[in-house]
Amino acid sequence: MTTLTGIPASSGAAVGPFFLLNTNIPVPTGQPSHQSFEAEGHALNLAIKTVGADLEARAARTTGELQEILLATAEIATDPAISEEAAGFIASGHTASYAMVKATEVFQELLTASGGYLAERVSDVANIRDRVLCEIAGIAYPEIPHFDVPTVLIAQDLSPADTADLETDKILAIVTAGGGPTSHTAIIARSNGIAAIVACPGVVEAASTNSGASVAVDATTGQITFNPNATLKSEIATKIERIKARKSRVITRSADGYVTTDGTVVPIFANIGRLEDTVAAVAAGADGVGLLRTELLYLDRNDAPTLQEQTAIYTQLFTPFNGQKIVIRTLDAGADKPMAFINFAQEPNPALGMRGYRTIDGHEDLLRTQLQAIANAAKATTAEVWVMAPMVTLPGEAATFVAMAREYGLNKAGVMIEVPAAIFHADEITKVCDFVSIGTNDLGQYLHAADRESAPLAGFNDPWQPALLRAVHLVAQAGIKNNCPVGVCGEAASDAALGSVLVGLGVSSLSCSVATLTDVAQAITAHSLTL
């Protein structure tokens, strides 16, 4: 047996055959082009256009978080900045393929140096580059094939585009050498209810030398074993049966939320981003929406959506949640979510710059229009609408936002806690807000100064990190003191085992991906909060 250890990213276990996704694309040399400048430029632009259109088509076939990620990736692919950078290399006599490689290297260096959200896009740019290279060469990009039997998928890493057409019923588990617990791969696995281990060094090499073998994957411990013996297979089979039994257990629920064994009510909400997600959230038994992302309404537009457009879409999103709470996050622009109609200045580190609520400086009209649209939609439906601002740092910012929301009749207003400074201002912030919501993804990486897409640093972004849990506890206790509900809407809330811990720390509600909601509810209702 060969056993390797990575970081659990999505709970579960599996035993079966595996498939190694080989995405090694031949790297072009710097040999001079034998084609004209015009011919190479045409080849590059055509390939970029084709890849962008393909990514948009893949996005159209998906929903939720994956769709959001794919649309952002398509926007990167067709960004004129890349083709303009590549044109310079073509003008120097290089081939379109080599020019694409060098241009993307420039952007990857810039993104890495920027850190935060932008650094997360480095792998996306690499995937775009590889797809463009295949288009120029006239060869097929290596895709995940159709599996006749359920299979464990192993890869160096997976891009959102790689997983767009994933047959989830044929995937036993996902194991990657790269990524981290909040990476795209982890999010996609959790959203589809697939067991996953990430940041597992050596797994690609082990898979290459164990062709034809079976593997045992334990995504509760982070271990993957090639050629498992009968004893280990039996242990994994027992664990799988336990998971099935837990999922089949009757869940105790009241009108106000899910009920622990000692009678504590814990609302469990869904994270959504599009109209399609509302149906799934209702069907999954969500108590409402704990995070409604509004960015997708703004992306790929040269002008901001009008008041009428926003009112119409928010009304559609609110309508299915009759009498239920919906927490809608105002525009989280900036960093990896550039908006054509917002003139972002050049920043050395955009992830730590003008993003989220900070864009109110010079663009207050955008926020006011959005608040008016939310208020209009709230009046037109029976949903209980709460509104919150992202990337708030200081108590004064929180107070200003709450006051502004009140102007529009939105009487439940709060902020996201995702900046370390906000932890130390938690007492003051929870005094001026009606509620707060902790975004553990950003908070975790900012607390540890560790890019959540960095595999070598993945351990820092484990939601079980003590510093993150202590931060949650501090905010929760401030909320209890000031009678201010404190929710968690980051990926930590999608960890079924961690959910009970968060509630034990004082968190009043959880908001998770639709696919993990049942698992989280099962775990919450199986535990007591009292000794």
Which residues does the annotation mark as catalytic?
184, 489
* Three-state secondary structure of 85-107: HHHHHHHCCECHHHHHHHHHHHH
SS3 content of the chain, % helix, strand, coil (to 5): 50, 15, 35
Per the structure block, which two tokens stand in for 213?
A: 């073998």
* Three-state secondary structure of 277-330: HHHHHHHHCCCEEEEECCHHHCCCCCCCCCHHHHHHHHHHHHCCCCCCEEEEEC
DSSP E strand stretches across 180-232? 195-198, 214-218, 223-226
> Distance between terminal CA atoms of the chain?
42
d(CA 207, CA 226): 8
Q: How many other CB atoms sit within 10 Å of the CB of residue 259?
A: 17
- CA diameter of the chain: 76
Please work out, in degrees rounded to the nearest 5, the angle formed at the alpha carbon of residue 47 by the alpha carbons of 453 and 295.
45
d(CA 129, CA 211): 29
d(CA 399, CA 405): 10
